[in-house]
């Protein structure tokens, strides 16, 4: 410490200052160098030299004046005073250093909260609200969980390509009622052949997109429908029915050559691009996000399948239609509204679905066609939890619930 070094300089150096000569300096240069290092440096005028706070520790050996015998005699009487002054300066420097160390945490303390930005605090609370619905099936090679999110984002992008225009205006021999009767018959075919629901939905899409491009007569409408089911079966089923089965269900009204020719016509007209987004796939995906029970999913499927017969719903976005059917089913079952997980994976907030949900409930309540019973009969079976017998919601009550969502 500076105080110890300066103390030694007072006790040892002062008595020997008058006896030191040039011979002694040459005889023991190391000892002289140590003595010179212990001297308190001064300017030529004798005034204290200005230095930094740590000057006494780091550079006390610099700018030393090698004094002779006469100079040492003159300097010796003032060394005690200068040593005492140097000791005071050292003590003041030490006190100032301690004060600066104590003050530095206080000055840096207000800056610590700035290192943690305020907007990052609510983020951890929002992350758990969105559940990773594909995490549980990452080990299942048949689930394709690693690519599920990308697949559905791709299908959402393809929806824009397959938006249906109002094609009934240019169909002089086909009406909306005829289309509804055809779809009702296609539902019976799907049930009798025990085909996947994806096959039914894709077949209806194929019929609509074909009629957008080709003007057809009513006597060919059933041929178009049966051929569409054949194409969809080849696309969706592991073991699709053969051509003879479709000729049989048409009561042999058409020949094999006609069915094969219609298949070629549909595929060439659609340019073999038949991977059309359907509502049923989105519905199963969204039901998984909601962790809906099979009964709730079946109710939503019933609502969605009823829209297949309605021409007004054919031009709705499949993903939006599926989300609206699920939201209505959740509301009818009193299972809550649209969760953040559903909003994240579907891309729709609850307010986006409210108009379509009201239309669906109106369709369920006031379906005008009594002759079209295939869908209601199908979902009145106990295998489907008899969801077709569920009482529709009151329109005013539904609107009140949707306002509070």
Query: Distances in Å between the alpha carbon of 285 and those of 163, 236, 291, 323, 396?
Result: 21, 17, 10, 10, 30
Quote the CA–CA distance of 224 and 64 in Å, as a whole number.
111
- State how far the Cα of 211 lies from the Cα of 170, in Å rounded to an integer: 9
The pLDDT value recorded for residue 236 is 96
Question: If DSSP codes are grouped into helix, strand and coil, which group holds residue 24?
Answer: helix
293 by DSSP, 3-state: which?
coil
Predicted pLDDT of residue 93: 57
Cα–Cα separations (whole angstroms), residue 286 to 148, 221, 323, 333, 398: 12, 34, 7, 16, 21
Q: Do domains 148-269 and 279-404 have the same CATH topology?
A: yes
pLDDT of residue 337: 87
Q: What's the CATH superfamily of 148-269? A: Cyclin-like (1.10.472.10)
- Read out DSSP for 268-289? HHTTT------HHHHHHHHHHH
**pLDDT score of 248:** 94
- Please report, for the chain, the start and end positions of each structural domain, with discontinuous segments joined by +: 2-105, 148-269, 279-404
Flag residues of the chain having pLDDT under 50: 1-77, 79-80, 83, 103-109, 123-128
**pLDDT value at residue 82:** 52
- Greatest extent of the chain over all pairs of C-alpha atoms, in Å: 139
Q: What pLDDT does residue 97 have?
A: 54
Q: Model's pTM, two decimal places?
A: 0.69
Helix (H, G, I), strand (E, B) or coil at 39: coil
Contact 284, 268 (CB under 8 A): no
Exposure of 147 in the CB half-sphere (CA atoms within 13 A): 7
**CA gap 1, 13 in Å, rounded:** 18
Q: Of all helices (H) and strands (E), which one includes residue 254?
A: none
Are 332 and 272 in contact by the 8 Å Cβ rule? The answer is no
Q: For the structural domain made of 279-404, what CATH number should be given?
A: 1.10.472.10
Tokens of 240: 């699709």
């Amino acid at each position: 410490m500076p105080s110890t070094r300066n103390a030694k300089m007072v006790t040892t150096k002062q008595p020997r200052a008058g006896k030191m000569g040039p011979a002694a300096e040459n005889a023991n240069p190391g000892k002289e160098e140590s003595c010179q290092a212990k001297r308190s440096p001064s300017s030529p005028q004798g005034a204290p030299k200005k230095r930094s706070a740590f000057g006494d520790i780091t550079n006390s050996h610099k700018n030393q004046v090698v004094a002779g015998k006469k100079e040492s005699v003159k300097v010796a009487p003032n060394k005690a005073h200068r040593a005492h002054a140097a000791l005071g300066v050292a003590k003041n420097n030490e006190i100032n250093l301690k004060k600066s160390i104590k003050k530095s945490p206080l000055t840096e303390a207000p800056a610590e909260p700035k290192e943690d930005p305020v907007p990052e605090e609510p983020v951890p609370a929002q992350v758990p609200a969105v559940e990773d619905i594909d995490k549980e099936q990452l080990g299942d090679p048949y689930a394709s969980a690693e690519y599920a999110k990308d697949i559905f984002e791709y299908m959402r992008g393809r929806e824009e390509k397959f938006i249906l225009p109002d094609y009934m205006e240019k169909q002089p021999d086909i009406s909306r009622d005829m289309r509804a009767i055809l779809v009702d018959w296609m539902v019976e075919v799907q049930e009798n052949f025990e085909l996947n629901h994806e096959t039914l939905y894709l077949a209806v899409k194929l019929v609509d997109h074909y009629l957008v491009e080709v003007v057809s007569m009513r006597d060919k409408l059933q041929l178009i429908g049966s051929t569409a089911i054949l194409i969809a079966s080849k696309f969706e089923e592991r073991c699709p029915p053969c051509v003879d089965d479709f000729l049989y269900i048409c009561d042999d009204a058409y020949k094999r050559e006609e069915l094969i020719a219609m298949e070629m016509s549909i595929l060439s007209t659609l340019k073999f691009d038949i991977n059309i987004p359907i509502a049923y796939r989105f519905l199963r995906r969204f039901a998984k996000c909601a962790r809906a029970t099979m009964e709730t999913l079946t109710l939503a499927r019933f609502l969605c399948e009823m829209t297949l017969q309605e021409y007004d719903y054919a031009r709705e976005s499949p993903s939006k239609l599926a989300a609206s059917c699920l939201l209505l089913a959740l509301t009818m079952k009193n299972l809550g509204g649209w969760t953040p997980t559903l909003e994240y994976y579907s891309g729709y907030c609850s307010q986006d679905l409210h108009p379509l949900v009201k239309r669906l409930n109106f369709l369920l309540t006031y379906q005008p066609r009594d002759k079209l019973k295939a869908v209601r009969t199908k979902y009145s079976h106990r295998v489907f939890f008899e969801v077709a017998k569920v009482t529709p919601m009151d329109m005013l009550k539904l609107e009140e619930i949707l306002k509070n969502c």
